[in-house]
Chains A and B, each alone.
Chain A
Amino acid sequence: MPESSEKGPGSTGEQRSRELFWQTLGRLVLLYFVPLILLAVFFQLQYRNVQRDSLRAHLQGLAEHQARTFDLFLRERLVNLGNILGDPRFGADTTWRDLSSFLDELRRASDAFVDLGVVGTGGALVAYAGPVRYTAPVSYGEEPWFRELSAPGTTSVITAIYLGFRDKPHFTIAVRRDQGPSPVILRAALSPERLSEYLTTLEGATEVKAAVVNGTGVLQLSASRMGEPLEASLFTPPATPRRGFVAGGRDSGRPDYAYAWLTETPWALVVVDARSEADAAVPVVLSRPLLASLGVFLFVGVVILVRTRQVVGRQLAVEQHEAELSGQLVHAAKLASVGELASGIAHEINNPLAVIAEEVGVLKDSLDPELADEDDEPVDLAEHLDAIHDAVFRCRDITRKLLTFVRHGEVKVQIHDVHDILDEVLDVLLGNELAISNVLVERSYDRGITGILTDRNQLAQVFVNLVKNALDAMPGGGRLRVTTHLEDGQAAISIKDSGCGMSPEQLEKIFMPFYTTKDPGRGTGLGLSVSYTIIRDFGGAFYVVSAPGKGSTFTVKLPLAAA
């Protein structure tokens, strides 16, 4: 239940401070962190894009570079072979033994050479040097590479990987030279292992995994665990463009790759980022922009904390100042309303004083021999003294009430009967004023309202303000209806006048301090604003309903004291 003693400082002050702190903190965090998070996400995405683009360009560059180098390598091997054909020691009568010395030379140029053979007309192997021991005569007449090389204008050929007679994956490279009537063909096998090894020595080989595939996607060479030669490759690069980048995508289960087609053979060199798989395992949290964002968050967090403390401190100071001002305002308004009450009080006191004066006068007259008449009955002393006594106590009651009202003391919140306070205001403080103003007071009290927690003087001040306003609204007299009833578990006290009422423009301003419709010197414009403050401090509410010509109804709602 609302505690009306919450006006005072103390534990509620700390609570207020804490509440304010969290409120401000929440607001600042929202204000600063939401855009910051959005920015961080944006930059993170941008960073990833840039990273991907640069990786893509890098991969593509590597693929092209490696393809060029590999092309060069293959061309060199053809040149090696061609050199033998041009060697003066080489002739049609070259024997097996002579050939092995040429093989040695070739292997000095590149250890990819496995063997060397001389192929005669019709494709028959006439001389051979190498590890294979042929038991039967060998003819390459039906081999695709032989037929390709036999075509006019073709002087060299490099085959795709195949098993051939030796039943081992290998490449064949062959060159032809038309010497005299019949062409001489020199062929050599290249070891896929050696070629694969060569791939691993190319530039950037540590960053990427490289493989060579042919146009139908059969793996020719593989540098590092990309599959075995002759297997179908994961990658089948498109024929055009001659070089490019293919995004893998999660569904295909295939990483991004770059490729470049070779010029010497219908093969493509494919490279895959060796780190891409490991990259995925690296937690996103550790990416640089995210770390930077975290840093910024921390910094902003500290700034927000410091700022919150400042704001809360300042706000509390302002609130305290406001409370002090409001306290001063309440007292000023009370004094002002005492001023307004003063003329009424003067009349109240002057009446019994006039009675006393006349009573004393009668007694004095009775002692005056000039005025005394022999026929007159003797003056009844007791009767006159009683009248004087009564008048003196009437005066004392009036001054006592006024002093109680004006006393600037501690606010004493107690359980009071709201009807007692209303009656005091209507009968004692403003009774005479109401009577001589021709205002008929109608009371309709709901006795079901038990006690309310309030300060008697402050609440009386509110009622005095309301009744005085009603009086001012009814200069020619009228009816004042004072009603109490229970509403939503609260005590509702309504004061309704039959006066001139207020326009909507006036209604808007009536709770503003120093707003008054009264003549200068008659109203301070503090009454309602202070009444509002008082009621709010008791956890109550203040309503007004009014229209021009229809009078005004002011309603005060106050929480009931716990039974």
Chain B
Amino acid sequence: MSDHRVLLVDDEEEFVAVLAERLGARGLQADTAATGPAALVKAGETRYDAILLDMAMPGMDGIETLERLLDLNPDLQVILLTGRATLEQAATAIKLGALDLLEKPADIDTLVQKIEDAATRRWSLEDRRIEEKVADIIRKKGW
């Protein structure tokens, strides 16, 4: 069982509350945010292995929140959740750098699997960055 930390962003508060409960039962640590700005604040404070983001939200919508999150940290792994996925929206989201797009209601096991994938990706990305940094330092120092 993993102990990944995830952020659930959705304006449907009942939904996020129950989902957080269920993910908690599966050993994940789930935080919730009801709006895009709230999500940005939390993502700035805490390191999340994955962020589950609702596409349609009043105010800042999923796509914009996604952009801002990736601006904040390009290594963030964002999985979009949507009640109505058009091909166009999916393409936009993937192009912007979302890890995946899942349709509501999503199967919990699939969701957990995606979170695992996201965490793995996050770690490998961070590993690569460290390697790059190390290589850079070696090159600069002339070792």
Binding site for B on A (CB under 8 A): 343-344, 346-351, 353-359, 361-362, 365, 371, 373, 387, 432, 435-436, 438
The 8 Å CB contact of A343, one of B25, B86, B106, is B86
User: Would you call B84 and A358 a contact (CB within 8 A)?
Assistant: no
User: Would you call A355 and B12 a contact (CB within 8 A)?
Assistant: yes
B contact face: mostly helix, strand, loop, or mixed: loop
CA distance A251 to B22 in the complex (A): 122
User: Would you call A355 and B56 a contact (CB within 8 A)?
Assistant: no
The 8 Å CB contact of A387, one of B14, B57, B106, is B14
User: Would you call B25 and A365 a contact (CB within 8 A)?
Assistant: yes
Q: Hey, which chain B residues are within 8 Å of A435, CB to CB?
A: 58
> Given that A355-B12, A436-B56 are known contacts, is A346 also in contact with B18, CB under 8 Å in the complex?
no
> Given that A353-B104, A358-B19 are known contacts, is A346 also in contact with B83, CB under 8 Å in the complex?
yes
User: Would you call B83 and A351 a contact (CB within 8 A)?
Assistant: yes
Nearest chain A CB to B60 CB, angstrom units = 8
User: Would you call B15 and A355 a contact (CB within 8 A)?
Assistant: yes
Q: Hey, which chain A residues are within 8 Å of B58, CB to CB?
A: 435-436, 438
CA distance A351 to B14 in the complex (A): 10
User: Would you call A346 and B84 a contact (CB within 8 A)?
Assistant: yes
User: Would you call A358 and B18 a contact (CB within 8 A)?
Assistant: yes
Q: List 26 A-B contacts (CB under 8 A).
A: A346-B84, A347-B82, A348-B83, A350-B84, A350-B104, A351-B12, A351-B83, A351-B104, A354-B15, A354-B83, A354-B105, A355-B18, A355-B105, A356-B105, A357-B106, A358-B105, A358-B108, A362-B18, A362-B21, A371-B26, A432-B56, A436-B56, A436-B57, A436-B61, A438-B59, A438-B61
Q: Hey, which chain A residues are within 8 Å of B19, CB to CB?
A: 358
Q: Which of B60-88 contact A (CB under 8 A)?
A: 61, 82-84, 86
Q: Hey, which chain A residues are within 8 Å of B12, CB to CB?
A: 351, 354-355
Q: Hey, which chain B residues are within 8 Å of A373, CB to CB?
A: 25
Q: Most B CB atoms within 10 A — which of A347, A358, A436?
A: A358
User: Would you call B18 and A359 a contact (CB within 8 A)?
Assistant: yes
Closest residue on chain B to residue A477 by CB atoms: B59
CA distance A11 to B57 in the complex (A): 54
Q: Which of B78-122 contact A (CB under 8 A)?
A: 82-84, 86, 103-106, 108
Q: A355-B12, A355-B15, A387-B14 are in contact. List 20 more A-B contacts (CB 8 A).
A: A347-B56, A347-B82, A347-B83, A350-B83, A350-B103, A351-B104, A353-B104, A353-B105, A354-B12, A356-B105, A357-B105, A358-B19, A358-B22, A359-B18, A362-B21, A362-B22, A371-B25, A371-B26, A432-B56, A436-B57
User: Would you call A343 and B18 a contact (CB within 8 A)?
Assistant: no
CA distance A404 to B100 in the complex (A): 37
CA distance A493 to B86 in the complex (A): 34
> Given that A346-B84, A436-B61 are known contacts, is A354 also in contact with B104, CB under 8 Å in the complex?
yes
Nearest chain A CB to B54 CB, angstrom units = 9
Q: Hey, which chain A residues are within 8 Å of B26, CB to CB?
A: 371
Nearest chain A CB to B66 CB, angstrom units = 15
Q: Which of B14-54 contact A (CB under 8 A)?
A: 14-15, 18-19, 21-22, 25-26
Q: Hey, which chain A residues are within 8 Å of B104, CB to CB?
A: 350-351, 353-354
CA distance A346 to B56 in the complex (A): 12
Nearest chain A CB to B103 CB, angstrom units = 8
Q: Hey, which chain B residues are within 8 Å of A353, CB to CB?
A: 104-105
Q: Hey, which chain A residues are within 8 Å of B61, CB to CB?
A: 436, 438
User: Would you call B22 and A343 a contact (CB within 8 A)?
Assistant: no
> Given that A353-B104, A354-B105, A361-B108 are known contacts, is A347 also in contact with B14, CB under 8 Å in the complex?
no
Nearest chain B CB to A371 CB, angstrom units = 5
Q: Hey, which chain A residues are within 8 Å of B22, CB to CB?
A: 358, 361-362, 365
User: Would you call B18 and A361 a contact (CB within 8 A)?
Assistant: yes
Q: Hey, which chain B residues are within 8 Å of A361, CB to CB?
A: 18, 22, 108
Nearest chain A CB to B111 CB, angstrom units = 10
Nearest chain A CB to B72 CB, angstrom units = 22
Q: Most A CB atoms within 10 A — which of B57, B58, B86?
A: B58
User: Would you call A347 and B84 a contact (CB within 8 A)?
Assistant: yes
Nearest chain A CB to B86 CB, angstrom units = 7
Q: Most B CB atoms within 10 A — which of A344, A351, A362?
A: A351
Q: Hey, which chain A residues are within 8 Å of B14, CB to CB?
A: 355, 387
CA distance A1 to B25 in the complex (A): 68
Q: Hey, which chain B residues are within 8 Å of A344, CB to CB?
A: 84
CA distance A529 to B98 in the complex (A): 41
